[in-house]
């Protein structure tokens, strides 16, 4: 694939490859700026009203803090971003907007591969913001992932996988390259991590971890053996990745 690069930051993804396209990138340089996200400044009242509705429907939700991108650009050096620390409630309001303008949600996606050629994902618990959805163990970038004003996506991947599955990414073989894709204003940056365990062994390991995990976010683990989009209630960000993975096999 020939990528069209831009040296200009943008509040939308019009300069990126089309949605649901997986493409390689050279790296990621994600700066976190001081102050409030412009989305939050412009929509405080609407964000607060929506949050009241969200927690009325799901009291388990917590208004924590996450890194929410303001602008991105795609160049030969990879994806660069300018972001702010924002409340989770702002993200929840943003994702309910039909056009999803004013922010970009970027997250790192560790893609777990088994020794027998399957992918292993998790199913989210009923009390979470994405109940029942299946996707790779991951989470939004958070303030603890920011080092010297920039996001450490590798640290985020290790932490999220350890918390949700008990698996240690340092014990996996890291696949070559960093890849990206986007759907409806959400950008995923992903790498492959191959474990010396079969898919069934990984699923059993995660099941045992669930019994002792402090945070009961997940409802189970899932082995993915084909690109069938109807095999599981996949989060939409999963679909281009499983298409890409199994097409390569």
Alpha carbon dihedral 203, 207, 212, 216, in 10-degree steps, equals 100
CA 170 from chain center: how many Å? 19
pLDDT digits over 17-32, tens only?
999 999 999 999 999 9
Confidence at 129, pLDDT banded by 50, 70, 90: confident
d(CA 232, CA 47): 31
Confidence at 1, pLDDT banded by 50, 70, 90: low
d(CA 242, CA 221): 16
In the prediction, which pLDDT does 235 show?
A: 94
In the prediction, which pLDDT does 216 show?
A: 76
Return the structure tokens found at 64: 């924590």
Residue 65: Cβ within 10 Å count: 14
d(CA 247, CA 124): 26
**Would you say residue 54 has pLDDT above 90?**
yes
**Would you say residue 248 has pLDDT above 90?**
no
**Would you say residue 218 has pLDDT above 80?**
yes
d(CA 201, CA 228): 22
In the prediction, which pLDDT does 2 show?
A: 65
In the prediction, which pLDDT does 126 show?
A: 85
**Would you say residue 85 has pLDDT above 70?**
yes
Long-range contacts of 32-36 (CB under 8 A, 24+ apart): 32/67, 32/83, 32/84, 32/85, 32/146, 32/149, 32/150, 32/151, 33/70, 33/82, 33/83, 33/84, 35/84, 36/84, 36/86
Mean pLDDT score of the chain: 95
pLDDT digits over 225-238, tens only?
999 999 999 999 99
In the prediction, which pLDDT does 212 show?
A: 87
**Would you say residue 46 has pLDDT above 90?**
yes
**Would you say residue 214 has pLDDT above 90?**
no
């Amino acid at each position: 694939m020939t990528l069209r690069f831009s040296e200009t930051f943008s509040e939308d993804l019009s300069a990126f490859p089309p949605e649901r396209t997986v493409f390689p990138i050279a790296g990621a340089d994600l700066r976190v700026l001081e102050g409030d996200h412009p989305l939050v400044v412009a929509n405080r009242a609407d964000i607060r009203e929506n949050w009241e509705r969200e927690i009325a429907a799901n009291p388990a939700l917590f208004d924590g803090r996450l890194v929410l991108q303001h602008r991105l650009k795609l160049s030969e050096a990879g994806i660069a971003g300018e972001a702010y620390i924002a409340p989770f409630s702002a993200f929840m309001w943003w994702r309910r907007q039909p056009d999803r303008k004013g922010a970009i949600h970027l997250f790192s996606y560790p893609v777990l591969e088994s020794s027998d050629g399957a992918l292993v994902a998790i199913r989210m618990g009923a009390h979470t913001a994405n109940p029942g959805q299946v996707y790779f163990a991951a989470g939004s970038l958070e303030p603890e992932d920011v080092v010297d004003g920039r996001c450490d996506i590798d640290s985020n991947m290790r932490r999220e996988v350890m918390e949700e599955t008990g698996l240690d990414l340092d014990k996996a073989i890291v696949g070559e390259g960093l890849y990206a894709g986007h759907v409806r204003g959400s950008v995923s940056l992903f790498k492959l991590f191959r474990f010396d365990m079969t898919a069934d062994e990984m699923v059993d390991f995660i099941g045992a971890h669930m019994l002792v995990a402090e945070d009961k976010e997940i409802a189970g683990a899932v082995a993915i053996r084909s690109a069938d989009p109807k095999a599981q209630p996949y989060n939409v960000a999963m679909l281009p990745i499983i298409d890409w993975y199994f097409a390569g096999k």
